[in-house]
Amino acid sequence: MTSLPKTTEKKLGLVIDLDICVGCHACAVACKEWNTGAYGAPLSDQDAYGAEPEGTWLNRIHSYEVTPREGAAQIVHFPKSCLHCEDAPCVTVCPTGASYKRQADGIVLVNEDACMGCGLCAWACPYGAREMDAAAGVMKKCTLCVDRIYNENLAEEDRVPACVRTCPANARHFGDFADPDSEVSRMSAARGGMALMPEQETKPVNRYLPPRPKDGAGAPVRLAELAEPEAKGFLGWLDKALARLG
């Protein structure tokens, strides 16, 4: 069993805006691209060009069709990666201490040197956010790009996770949830940011902004004004319109 820090100085995490996520997979691929050459073992791919290609990904996009009681069906795109829970069951279940939560910033990491590949943490995670790398035999998970966010070899503006850096729809935001004035805290408060499956009592750090209501009539429009023009139809209206122009 591995213990969690009582508190962390920061609570780094992501805000993911489901209202604007178009499901393009840019974040997932950028994540794989950065991380396969970064922290720990590469993210390998098996049967890469064959019948059942399957590789390790730290972030995957799920698309759901939602049919409301009234109105047209909708598609919601749902990117999912480690939520860096405050009460992370994947850490406490780890028999070797490989899985741990950083006291400084709350990032949940796997120390691959100590990981024996037992897979208990993946069973314990209610979100399915960990993937065992088939080639290296160690557990892989989102590191919040811990090797980017403090990296002095990168320009300061690039010290964000690869998924945030690349998102074309600006649906992903990175910051410190321990700071109520941070952009992510304020955004989450303003838009009703949701924790995923709170009943699991894992206290996830990441927040999802729910989609705004759709297919409504939008701002009220004075439909009455669109009634038949008073006199002589369009051509009659034209005279008046021209007169107004002078």
Partner 1 sequence: MPPLDEPALDLSPKVSDEVRKTTCYMCACRCGIDVHLREGADGSVKVRYIEGNRDHPTNRGVLCAKGSAGIMQHYSPARLRKPLLRTGPRGSGEFREIEWEEALEKAVEWLKPIRESDPKRLAFFTGRDQSQSLTSWWAQQYGTPNYAAHGGFCSVNMAAAGIYTMGGAFWEFGSPDWERARYFMIFGVAEDHDSNPIKLGISRLKARGAKVVGVNPVRTGYNAVADEWVGITPGTDGLFILALVHELLRTGHVDIDYLTRYTNAPWLVNRSPGERFGLFARDEKGRPLVWDTATGQPARWDAPGVVPALKGDFAGPDGGRVTPVLELMARKYLEPEYAPETVAEACGIDAATIRRIAAELVEAAFEQEVVIERPWTDWKGERHERMIGRPVAFHAMRGISAHSNGFQTCRALHILQILLGSVETPGGMRFKPPYPKPVEIHPTPHSRTQPGGPLNGPHLGFPRGPEDLCYEEDDCSPGGCCARIDKAFTWENPLSAHGLMHMVISNAAAGDPYEIDTLFLYMANMAWNSSMNTRGVMDMLTAKGEDGEYRIPHIIYSDAYSSEMVAYADLVLPDTTYLERHDCISLLDRPISEPDAAADAIRWPVVKPETQGEGRDVRGFQTVLIDIGARLGLPGFVDDEGKAKYADYADYIVNHERRPGVGPLFGWRGEGETTGRGRPNRDQLARYVANGGFHTAHVPEEAAHFKPWNAAYQDWAVEMGFFDKPSPYAFQLYLEPLRKFQLAAEGHGPRQPPDHLRERMQLTFDPLPVWYPPFADADEAEYPLHAITQRPAAMYHAWGSQNAWLRQIHGENPLYVPAQVCNDAGLEDGDWAWVISPHGRIKVPVRRMQAVNPKTLWTWNAIGKRGGAWALGEGAPETTRGFLLNHLIHELLPPKGDGLRWANSDPITGQAAWYDLRVRIEKAEPGEVSEPHMEDQESPVGQGPDKLAYGEEW
Q: Where are the alpha helices (DSSP H) in the chain?
A: 26-36, 89-92, 120-124, 146-149, 162-166, 183-191, 233-245
By the rule CB under 8 A, 216 interacts with partner 1: yes
Q: How far is the CB of 246 from partner 1 (least distance, A)?
A: 9
Q: Candidates 69, 156, 180, 234: give the one binding partner 1 (CB under 8 A).
A: 234
How many angstroms separate the CA atoms of 49 and 228, rounded?
63
Stretch touching partner 1 by CB under 8 A, among 62-70, 78-86, 87-95, 122-130: 62-70
By the rule CB under 8 A, 6 interacts with partner 1: no
By the rule CB under 8 A, 199 interacts with partner 1: no
Of 126 and 229, which has the nearer Cβ to partner 1?
Answer: 229
By the rule CB under 8 A, 228 interacts with partner 1: yes
Of 151, 205, 198, the C-alpha closest to 39 is 151
How many angstroms separate the CA atoms of 197 and 126, rounded?
9
Strand positions, DSSP E, the chain: 12-17, 45-46, 54-55, 59-66, 74-81, 99-101, 108-110, 131-132, 139-140, 172-176, 207-209
By the rule CB under 8 A, 136 interacts with partner 1: yes
Total site size for partner 1, rule CB under 8 A: 93
Interface residues for partner 1 in 167-186 (CB under 8 A)? 167-171
Of 70 and 157, which has the nearer Cβ to partner 1?
Answer: 157
Amino acid at 127: Y
By the rule CB under 8 A, 22 interacts with partner 1: yes
Q: How far is the CB of 35 from partner 1 (least distance, A)?
A: 8
